Structure 1
Amino acid sequence: MRIFALVDCNNFYVSCERLFRPEIKHRPVVVLSNNDGCVISRSQEAKDIGVPMGAPAYKYQSFFLQNNVEIFSSNYALYGDLSQRVTATLASLTPDLEVYSIDESFLEFPPCMLRELPSIGKEIRTRILKWTGIPVSVGFGSTKTLAKVASRFAKKYPQTEGTFSLCGRNDLDRLLDKVPVTDVWGIGRRHGKRLIARGVSTARTFKDLPNLWLKKNMSVTGLHTALELRGTPCFELDNSPKPKKTISSSRSFGRPVTALSDLEESVAAYVARAGEKLREQQSLTNGVMVYLTTNRFNNLPQYSNSATRMLPIATDYTPELINTGLQCIRSIYKEGFSYKKTGVVLLDLCGKYNRQCNLLELDHKAESAKKEAIMNLLDSANTRFGRRTLSYASEGLEQPWQMNRKYKSPSYTTSWDDLPKIG
């Protein structure tokens, strides 16, 4: 039998905010989506008073005020940094690690450690809390899907003390009967509705469906999910994720934008961020796509469009990418419209060090080395001193088009200016 573990950060965004605001530890807390739109993370206290996930913030303003709810805008720099710290802590426990999302990671342990799982779960929770301040739940299972189910029990039932194992249990069917089929990892909303209509409402009834029916109606992925619930591993740890085929960067504006200059600034800023991601995974791009759109939820004239420019030589050099992005936005911009969003997509990515070179590159070796040195310097400075320590003039300084983040907390761990002060 194999042993998988899922480590899930509890109410992760809220936990990150509470880490530097201990006085709100027992108050209801919510974190809002981009432009302070909807609730995307809630403390247990917020759940207890009836704040639903996805609640529109503008509809709940008076409710938040009456119930002394602490509100935060999304602070992705803080969340991303703390997520990396949690991952680094997990890596100190086992080399078999897959970072599944910003707040979840899978681990694998040898079968000989089966009897030690309670102490392992406690050690994981204790070390992460001590080293990062983030509370987590730990679920163990003989497959990744069962580990997901176990983590759900660890979160839901206080008597588990944050750790629960489904490994080697004789009452697995009884426990799976408590799990709604729509909560099973890998079963989406569409399949969930179809299954419930067929009378399949729990994880147990789902796993008992015939293999032929599963493969016919839910493809091989549905069959693999059922097999995993039966204890047969079908999904391996992905501890060396493949590089992305495309990289995108976009945000909705905090206010309607009409001027081309503002749109150009946003495109330059998004290209700069996408360029950072490109270099992080040691890739080059062969093309840039830029799109823009108006707000389809208002009654104003509507317009959306996109433009793509392919590059003669694959590159990760941000100034060249910005220049290409600006050409794209200028070619599709139209006056008289109120724009809601622009976005950038880097296309046709290839590995920087394992690819077939373009013959045109042979004449530009010295120039390429100079560009690489400049990018290394810029990335090093922004990593060490905080994002946008060095930035491009085309990104603008004030950036009035930026999304609304009225309740944003300081970037405590990624900005020198925001370091907590004592005294």
Structure 2
Amino acid sequence: MAEPAFALIDCNAFYCSCERVFRPDLMRKPIVVLSNNDGCVIARSADAKPFIRMGAPYFQVKDTLRRHGIAVFSSNYALYGDMSERVMSVIEGMVPALEVYSIDEAFADLSGVTGDLERIGRQIRTRVLKYTGIPTGVGIAPTKTLAKLANHAAKKWQRQTGGVVDLRDPLRRDKLLKVLPVSAVWGIGRRMVEHLNALGIRTARDLADADARMLRKRFNVVIEKTARELRGTSCLALEDAAGAKRDICSSRMFGRRLREIEPIRQAVATYAATACERLRAQRSVCRLVRVGIRTGMHNPQDAKYARGVALQLPYASDDTRLITHYALLALEHVYRQGYAYSKAEVMLLDLCRRNEITGDLFAPQPPPETMRVMAVLDRINARWGKGTIHGGRVAANPEWAMRRDMLSPRYTTNAGHVWTVGAR
């Protein structure tokens, strides 16, 4: 049986790299990307990190960004999602099996692959950069946890490693584990670091050497598996595909405070339609719809209010029309005049697959044409663009929409934003 071998391919400063792909003039300019409503810094290029901390509120660091000539972008999720799919499809064509772990990283199973795995890692890195313009780091190891650490080293010491680190050699592995703090280990959060430090476990090597039974007894089986993985024993297999979600939430902060119910109705209808698209994409139906609204919670001068309510559907459904109707009924229950609302959310709960529904002779049944109508709706929007057909309550360009004053074009998903080259 072949020895296990995993590779973690992680995109470098992914959001910033996506902005640079279509802006060659930014290749040597530091970049940051902001969160929803241009709230705080959520991504930094390597050359921006010395000047701006992650999570810094934008209004506090505006002058610093301007002083150091750092380019600022609003989060362009349409662009980032499409570029992620392109990166993953390139990698998928080069490895036997792939687990997409997040928008910017994936685990590949290289067990049984013949040849120099470090060379294969460099080929992956080169091809992804050539085909998508996105730089990556590659970590290779006998376990997923070690592959994460190898990737960390590949990016931390990119000049020395060329962006690829192979930790299958025990001597090389031990050398790295001794210099990395336990906080660098995948899954070890700040609270856990404090507990481990109290036991004298300060480096990744210390955690690997710790007694597995003691770790399980004092903490949990996850920490025990992490320690075993650091020793080179594979405990975490590659996941072929993400399972269906048990609940779906669609939520956004408003671009401005809303006091009247009508624009909030538009927002709730929009969020319900988005949630229903995700529901149908995983071939599920829901039985329960929850709607919540709240005011801003940080301004001491504003009145505070937050409430949510869940309503049972007459039957399990993925019909946008039915779910939106019940979502708006729920909004009527929770809305109160006199407050400045900052956020609304729609949650679809009690999800199941269609073939998991037990029929009830006396319960209401969905109209027979529902599945066909929703299928046509999804096909049209898939072909001609999201929102081509939508419910009447959904506003095309609402005033309450998320604030994104520095949004870049959607180069790859909108025909009107296609990159053009021409003389001025």
Q: What band does the TM-score fall into relative to the shorter chain?
A: over 0.9
**Distance in 1 (alpha carbons) for counterparts of 2:190 and 2:389:** 44
**Distance in 2 (alpha carbons) for counterparts of 1:75 and 1:305:** 30
- What's the CA shift string for 1:215-273, capped at 9, x where partnerless? 12220000000000001111111112210000001011111111101111111111111
- SS of the residue aligned with 2:170? coil
- SS of the residue aligned with 1:185? coil
> Which residue does 1:143 correspond to in 2?
143
**Distance in 1 (alpha carbons) for counterparts of 2:133 and 2:359:** 47
Q: Would you say 1:389 and 2:388 are equivalent positions?
A: yes
Amino acid paired to 1:59 = Q
Deviation at 1:294, TM superposition (A): 0.8
Amino acid paired to 1:156 = K
Deviation at 1:352, TM superposition (A): 2.4
Structure-to-structure mapping, 1:251-266, within 5 angstroms = 251-266=252-267
**Distance in 1 (alpha carbons) for counterparts of 2:40 and 2:176:** 33
Change (3 A) 1:26 1:312: same
Q: Would you say 1:128 and 2:116 are equivalent positions?
A: no
Deviation at 1:384, TM superposition (A): 2.4
**Distance in 2 (alpha carbons) for counterparts of 1:355 and 1:93:** 40
> Which residue does 2:328 correspond to in 1?
326
> Which 10-residue stretch deviates more, 265-274 or 129-138?
129-138
- What's the CA shift string for 1:59-104, capped at 9, x where partnerless? 1111111111100001111111111111111211124111111111
Deviation at 1:418, TM superposition (A): 1.7
Change (3 A) 1:111 1:397: closer
Deviation at 1:385, TM superposition (A): 2.6
Q: How many residue pairs get matched?
A: 418
Deviation at 1:118, TM superposition (A): 1.7
Deviation at 1:362, TM superposition (A): 9.0
**Distance in 2 (alpha carbons) for counterparts of 1:177 and 1:50:** 29
**Distance in 1 (alpha carbons) for counterparts of 2:42 and 2:138:** 22
Structure-to-structure mapping, 1:10-21, within 5 angstroms = 10-21=12-23
Q: Residue 8 of structure 1: which of 10, 30, 38 is its match?
A: 10
**Where do 5+ consecutive residues of structure 2 fail to align?**
none
Deviation at 1:376, TM superposition (A): 1.9
> Which residue does 2:193 correspond to in 1?
192
> Which residue does 1:26 correspond to in 2?
28
Structure-to-structure mapping, 1:1-80, within 5 angstroms = 1-47=3-49, 49-80=50-81
Amino acid paired to 1:117 = L
Q: Would you say 1:308 and 2:307 are equivalent positions?
A: no
- SS of the residue aligned with 1:45? coil
- What's the CA shift string for 1:39-68, capped at 9, x where partnerless? 111111101x42111111111111111111
**Distance in 2 (alpha carbons) for counterparts of 1:379 and 1:22:** 36
- SS of the residue aligned with 1:382? helix
- SS of the residue aligned with 2:155? helix
- SS of the residue aligned with 1:170? helix
- Contact kept? 1:30, 1:39, Cα under 8 Å: yes
Deviation at 1:197, TM superposition (A): 3.1
Q: What percent identity do the matched residue pairs reach?
A: 42
**Distance in 1 (alpha carbons) for counterparts of 2:359 and 2:137:** 47
- SS of the residue aligned with 1:395? coil
Deviation at 1:361, TM superposition (A): 7.9
Structure-to-structure mapping, 1:239-388, within 5 angstroms = 239-299=240-300, 300-359=302-361, 367-368=367-368, 370-388=369-387
- SS of the residue aligned with 1:186? coil
| Aligned Cα root-mean-square deviation (Å) | 1.5
Structure with a larger share of its residues in helix: 1
